[in-house]
Amino acid sequence: MRIQSLRFLSLGVAALMSIAHIASYADETCNSPYMSGLIRGQEDFVHVWTLGVPGMGDGSDKLVTVDANPASKTYGKVIHKISVGGRGEAHHMGFTDDRKYLWAGGLDDSKIYVFDVGTDPSHPKLVRTIDNLSAKTGYVGPHTFYALPGRMLIGSLSNAADKGGVTGMAAYNNKGDFIAKYDMPTSAIQKIQGDGYGYDIAVNPAKNALLTSSFAGWNNYMRDLGEVVKDPEAMKHFGNTMVMWNLKTMQPDQIFAVPGAPLEIRWALAEGQNWAITATALTSKLWLVKRDAGGAWAAKDVATIGDPAKIPLPVDISITADAKGLWVNTFMDGTTHYFDLTDPEHPRQTFAKHTGSQVNMVSQSWDGRRVYITSSLLSKWDKAGKDNEQFLRAFHWDGHDLTPAFEIDFAKEQLGRPHHMKFTANPQRLASLVNASPR
Amino acid sequence: MPRLGAAARGATVLCLAGIAGAAGAGVDPGKATAPRMEFVPPPPGSYALQKIQRVADAVLLDSTGGAVRLSALTRGKITLLTFFYTYCADPLGCPFAHTTLADLRDRVRADRGLAGRVRFVSVSLDPTHDTPAAIATFAQVFNIDPAFEWRFLTARRVPELLPVLDDFGQDVSVELDESGRATRTLHHMLKMFLIDARGEVREIYSLAFLQPQVMFNDIKTLALEAGRTAAAT
C-alpha cells in the first residue's frame, strides 16, 4: 500500500461505516488446537507460504522451510523450498487433523496445494494439487484451511460469478475429494442482515460452535489498495458480519454486526471459557464474541488497536496457549502489539514495538517464548519502494520485550513475499509400523 | 523387526491416543482432556451428515482366526468402527474409546427402533501381538449381549493392515527407545468412524468430538435417513 493511500483509506472507512451492513477477519498458532501433535518447547521448522514475484528467483509461489532450532547448524537459514510452478496469490495454509499434511491455497487461481510435512518436515513434498474448488462450489479464493476429523473445512473469500465478496465454505476429505459446500448467509437472522461474505473459520467442539468472519471479494483483494480506497463503491464491498454456525448441522444460527472487516478468529478453548476474539481491519477494534448465561452469543467491541483514526490496519492476531494474551500486527504502521486478555471484556495493551515497515502475519510459539513475523499482506496491497520490505523476523519474548533472534530477507534471497507461517518439529524416536513393531 | 518377549509383555505400557507423533523433543501431545459437551445437541433427523468417503475393502481376521471381508462388516448396518490395541493403557486412549462405545452400545440396546441395525467394529493396530486369541479374550468384556453385534478384528500381518489404515487416514507409529529399539508404546490419533449401511463414512470423531449423546443422535439420524430412503423407493 502506498503511503498516500492512507488518506483515501480513511475516507473509504468513513464511507464503509455509513453503509448498512458490516464485516470482519483473524489467525492462530495452530489452526485446530483440539487436534493433535502440538509442539512442545522449541519448534524445529517454520514453513512460510510465499507469494512469487515476477523476476524474483523463479517467480513462483513456494513453500519455504526455515530452520528455527537454535541448536542446529543451519539455524535461521532457509533449508528447503518447493515451488508450485505458478503464481496464484499464495496466502494461508492449515494442517490436517493429524498435522501430517499442510494445505495451502492461492487466492487468485483458487488452487490448493497439499504438502507432506509429516514424513520429513525439513523437506516438505508436494503430494496433491486440488483445482476443482470453483467448479464444485462456485467459490474462489480459498483462504482458511481448518481441520476437522478426517476433513478440511475451507473458508473462501469470493465467487466465480461476479468476483464479489459473497462466498461460502467447502468441505473436502483428507484425500482431497470434495464433500459439500455451505453458502454464507445472505438473508437476515434475528433481524441482522447477512452479507454473504467470508474469511476466517474457527471451531469450538465443546460448544458445537463454528464462527466465521468476513473480508472482501476478488475484485478488492486483487486490486491495488490505493485504487480500492479511492473508489467509494469498492469500499462498500467489505464484510461487516460474523456468523455463529451450528457445527453439527452446518446451519447459521446467529449473525453479528461487526463493522470493518473482522479477520482472524481465535477461540479460548480452556474449560470454563466461553468466548472468541477477532480484530477488525478497517475500524481497528478487538471484538469479543461471548455466550451469555442464557446461552445466546453476542459480539461487542472491547478495545481499540492503535489510533483507529490513523487506520493502522490490524491484520493477523495470535493468541497465547492459555488465552491470556493476544499478539496483533498492524500493517500500516509496522507495529506489533501485545494485549493482556486476562479480562477478555477489557483487553489492555501492555506492549507495542515497531517491527518493520510493513508487518502482517504474527505467530507465537506454543510455549510463548518466540514470536515470528512476516511482512506481506497481499501482492496488490503491499507497500511500494523502500517500505516494501519482505522478511521473516524471529524474536525472543521474555514477557517484556521482543528481541531479535534471526531475520531472513526474502527479497534478497529471491524468494518472494512471505505470508502465512506454520511450525513443525522433528518426530523424534518414532517409527512407522512399516519399519517397526511394538516389542 | 523387534518382537515382544515374555518379559516385555509384563512391562508397563502406554498408549498416547489422541496424539500424532508426540515423542521426543519436538511434538507435544499436550495434556489430553476428556471431551466436553456444553450444548444441547440437535435432535436426530434434523440435520444431514456429510458423505465423507467410501470404505475400501480388505481382508482381516476375526476373533476366531477366520478371514473376513471388511466390506461385510461395514455394510448392511450402521457401523461404528475404531482402531485399538489390547494393551493400550492411556486413560484417554483406547480404554476411553471402548468406555464410550460401551455407553453407546447400551443406548442402542435400549432403543427398539435400532434393534439389529447397528454394529461396532474394533480393529487392532498391532497384528503382531493382538492375535485372534488375544482379541477374543479382550472382547469378552464388551460382548455382553449376543443380540448386539460388536466385532473385534486383527490382521494376519502388518502389510495387510496398512492399506486399511491408509484408507481411513488413521495414523500410527511406534515409539523407539534411546537405542532405537521399538517400545510397547503406539502413537495414534484416536478416531471413530460412523459408516452408513451402504459403506460410506458419514462422521469421524476424534477425542474432542467423542460426545456420546451427539454420537447416538448421529446413529439415529442415519437410521431415520435409511427409513426415508426405503420409503421413497
Pick B182's closest partner by Cβ from A205, A207, A439.
A439
Say what the pLDDT of residue A31 is: 57
Collapsing DSSP states into helix, strand and coil, what is residue B158? Answer: helix
pLDDT in tens, A16-50: 333 222 222 223 455 566 666 667 678 999 999 99
Q: So what's the ipTM on this one?
A: 0.91
How far apart, in whole angstroms, are the C-alpha atoms of residue A414 and residue A53?
9
**Does A189 score more than 90 pLDDT?**
yes
Q: Do residues B97 and B81 touch, judged by C-beta distance below 8 A?
A: no
Measured in residues, chain B has a length of: 233
**Chain B interface includes A272 (CB < 8 A):** no
**Chain B interface includes A434 (CB < 8 A):** yes
Q: Do residues A63 and A115 touch, judged by C-beta distance below 8 A?
A: yes
Other residues' Cβ atoms within 10 Å of the Cβ of residue B49: 18
Q: How far apart are the first and last CA of chain A?
A: 60
**Does A297 score more than 60 pLDDT?**
yes
Nearest chain A residue (CA) to B39: A207
pLDDT higher at A10 or A407: A407
Domain at B14-19+44-232: CATH code: 3.40.30.10
Q: How confident is the model at residue B93 (pLDDT cuts 50, 70, 90)?
A: confident
Say what the pLDDT of residue A270 is: 79
Cα–Cα nearest to B51, from B224, B212, B196, B227? B196
**Chain B interface includes A292 (CB < 8 A):** no
Q: Do residues A143 and A152 touch, judged by C-beta distance below 8 A?
A: no
Cell numbers 455509513 correspond to: A18
Say what the pLDDT of residue A16 is: 36
Say what the pLDDT of residue A2 is: 39
Q: How confident is the model at residue B4 (pLDDT cuts 50, 70, 90)?
A: very low
Residue A12 exposed, middle or buried by CB count within 10 Å (0-12, 13-18, 19+):
buried
Report, as an integer, the average pLDDT of A251-259.
98
Candidate from A153-162, A310-319, B12-21 with smallest mean pLDDT: B12-21
Strands A262-267 and A275-280 turn out to be antiparallel
Q: Do residues B73 and B117 touch, judged by C-beta distance below 8 A?
A: no
pLDDT in tens, B15-62: 333 333 322 334 444 445 678 899 999 999 999 999 999 999 999 999
Q: Which of B206, B213, B220 should we substitute to test contact with A (largest number of A Cβ atoms within 10 Å)?
A: B206
pLDDT in tens, A339-366: 999 999 999 999 999 999 999 999 999 8
Report, as an integer, the average pLDDT of A117-133.
96
Say what the pLDDT of residue B88 is: 87
Say what the pLDDT of residue A10 is: 47
Say what the pLDDT of residue A107 is: 98
pLDDT higher at A5 or B117: B117
Fold classified for A5-310: Neuraminidase (2.120.10)
Cell numbers that stand for A49 in this block: 507460504
pLDDT in tens, A305-317: 999 999 999 999 9
Note whether A43 contacts B26, CB cutoff 8 Å: yes
Say what the pLDDT of residue B22 is: 29
Q: How far apart are the first and last CA of chain B?
A: 53
**Which of A 381-420 lie inside 8 A of B, CB atoms?**
none
Say what the pLDDT of residue A437 is: 76
Mean predicted lDDT score pLDDT of chain A:
91
Domain extents in chain B? 14-19+44-232
Q: How confident is the model at residue A293 (pLDDT cuts 50, 70, 90)?
A: confident
How far apart, in whole angstroms, are the C-alpha atoms of residue A37 and residue A41?
12
Collapsing DSSP states into helix, strand and coil, what is residue A269? Answer: coil
Cell numbers that stand for A175 in this block: 484425500
Q: How confident is the model at residue A269 (pLDDT cuts 50, 70, 90)?
A: confident
- The identity of residue B69, as a single letter, is R
CA distances (Å), B86 to each of A170, B65, B89, B146, in order? 38, 16, 9, 21
Computed on alpha carbons and rounded to an integer, the radius of gyration of chain A in Å comes to 20
- Contacts with B84 from chain A: Cβ below 8 Å: none
Encode burial over B17-29: b for 16+ CB neighbours within 10 A, e otherwise: bbbbbbbbbbbbb
- Plot region of A49 (φ>0 → left; ψ -120 to 50 → alpha; else → beta): beta
Note whether B184 contacts A98, CB cutoff 8 Å: no
Say what the pLDDT of residue A434 is: 74
